[in-house]
Structure 1
Amino acid sequence: MPLGALRATPLVEQATDRLREQIAGQEWPVGTKLPGENALAQMLGVGRSTVREALRALAGAGLVQARQGAGVFVIATEPEENWSTKLRRAAVADVYEVRMVMEVEAAQLAARRRTGEDLTAIEAALAGRRGAGNGSTAEFVDADIALHAAVVAAAHNPVLTALFTEFVPALRQGLIDLVDLLGLRSGDPHHGDAGHAALTEAISRGDAEAAGHAVREELNRTLAQLQAV
């Protein structure tokens, strides 16, 4: 099947889609070497720079691989799932295990690195969590996540912050469902307040060991409940 020239913008996106279609349709089976940049540019009616960007996008999706001195080869017909998609499909308990490892370290770093502004933000988030105890489950979970986000931000590590942000969508609904399913707030609308207060106090006084212990204990309790469901 001929590729056919492309119409106007956005050319890179069009070129990427057209090449992806060829690969998915087995026009170029796994193991096949793609035509060179000049040939692809001529087939698609675009410049070499557009082809180069399209191939880079396909490589990022795990469909092709450039081999030094040999060319570009097809290595898969379906794109790899990105990190966000994998998190959405993962079991909440599995995501929580990784979250616990990440947040224990974040809490310890926060205790060592927090600034006055960080402490103000964490204390405000704790107050917000307490205030949300009178609200809906969704409001309570959002306030809880906001407190943990403030702690992670106080670690001043942009990679940890980005990872936590990626985890939130995969955790939020699972936590809402868990709280409702087990009735965790039926006897105490401020469920977990003591543990979060201990975390905040440990970070305030710069006690990294206590901060790590507080968040580990709190998340361990939730993980045990998740695994029991």
Structure 2
Amino acid sequence: MIGPVMPLDALRPSSLVDQATQRLREEITSGTWAVGTKLPGETALASTLGVGRSTVREALRALAGAGLVQARQGAGVFVTATTPREDWPTRLRQSAITDIYEVRAMLEVEAAQLAAQRRTPDDVIALNDAMDRRRHAAAGTNAEFVDADISLHAAVVAAAHNPVLTGLFTEFLPSLRKGLVDLLELAGLRAADPHDGEDSHAALVDAVARGDADAAGDILRTELEQTLARLKAV
């Protein structure tokens, strides 16, 4: 069945694709268009929303990515769900930082052990440079310190030379950064020691550089478990 023409006002000129996507999403998630409903054609939607067909096309593509609609060759676009499918970044943003940190610990300990086995001379240089940046960032803001800390951990993961591990770690970064900045702000951990964790991180870099996989894994596991305990205590 063809859905009704929506009584919508024309959209503002800014962020048209986002606005069109949101407006159409609301019609679907509210139940105005039930599962199985065929949406009006691009021309009708463009006229109703006051945008071009290309904007409508992009909006429908976004809705398809969320699992809400599906285009059927020669038949049109149909509603397939009224609840959007959460993508991985969205799920991470909505997850508790402690849950994310537990998974991070599992990934990074393995990455540190692999890094110790696979590091190259260039990796060692990158690790030492990242350690220096972390040390110097102690004089900066909490956000600057966290950024330098994450860069060091990213250098360890990169030295493992496993693109899947690198990709997974990258997905965690936005949520990790926010959680760590919040931890430092709320707990005031750097008030007494601006160089929080410097010794353990220096030991980690040394273990990877020496090729000691067991030591690298143990050092990082201990460091991450201590941070997780702090997060749970906040």
Q: TM-score, normalised by structure 2?
A: 0.74
1:118 aligns with 2:123: yes
RMSD over aligned Cα atoms: 3.8
Gaps of 5+ in 2: 7-16, 47-55
Name 2:88's counterpart in structure 1. 83
Q: Within 5 Å, give how 1:54-203 maps onto structure 2.
A: 57-64=62-69, 74-203=79-208
Letter in 2 for 1:138: A
Deviations 1:138-197 (A, max 9, x none): 221111111001111112222222222222221223212212332322332211112111
Tell me the number of residue pairs that the alignment of Structure 1 and Structure 2 aligns.
223
Q: What is the one-letter code of the residue matched to 1:220?
A: E
The equivalent residue for 2:223 is 218
Counterpart-to-counterpart distance in 2, 1:25 and 1:216 = 46
Answer with 189-198 or 16-25: which moved more.
Answer: 16-25
The CA deviation at 1:109 is: 1.7
- Separation in 2 of the partners of 1:22 and 1:130? 52
Counterpart of 1:195, as a letter, is: S
How far apart are the structure 2 equivalents of 1:14 and 1:133?
42
Letter in 2 for 1:206: G
Q: Give the structure 1 partner of residue 52 of structure 2.
A: none
- The residue that corresponds to 2:53 in the other structure is none
> Following TM superposition, by how much is the alpha carbon of 1:209 offset from its aligned partner in structure 2, in angstroms?
2.0
The alpha-carbon deviation at position 136 of structure 1 amounts to: 2.1
Q: Distance in 2 between matches of 1:16 and 1:180?
A: 36
In 2: Cα distance, 1:147 partner to 1:138 partner: 14
User: 1:32 maps to which residue?
Assistant: 36
Taking a change above 3 Å as real, the CA distance of residues 209 and 18 of structure 1, as seen in their structure-2 partners, is same
SS in structure 1 opposite 2:151? helix
State the Cα deviation string for residues 35-54 of structure 1 (Å, max 9, x = none).
8xxx9579779xxxxx9998
**C-alpha separation in 1, matches of 2:186 and 2:43:** 60
| Residues 15 and 44 in structure 1, CA contact (< 8 A), matched pair in contact too | no
Counterpart in the other structure of 1:6? none
Other structure's SS at 2:166 match: helix
Q: TM-score, normalised by structure 1?
A: 0.76
Partner Cα separation in structure 2 for residue 139 and residue 191 of structure 1: 13
Q: 1:143 to 1:52 in 2, by over 3 A?
A: closer
SS of the residue corresponding to residue 186 of structure 1 reads: helix
Given the superposition, is the C-alpha separation of residues 52 and 139 from structure 1 closer, same or farther in structure 2, using an over 3 Å criterion?
closer
Distance 1:179 1:17 in 2: 36
Q: Letter of the aligned partner of 2:215 in structure 1?
A: A
Is residue 64–residue 75 contact of structure 1 (8 Å, CA) maintained in 2?
Answer: yes
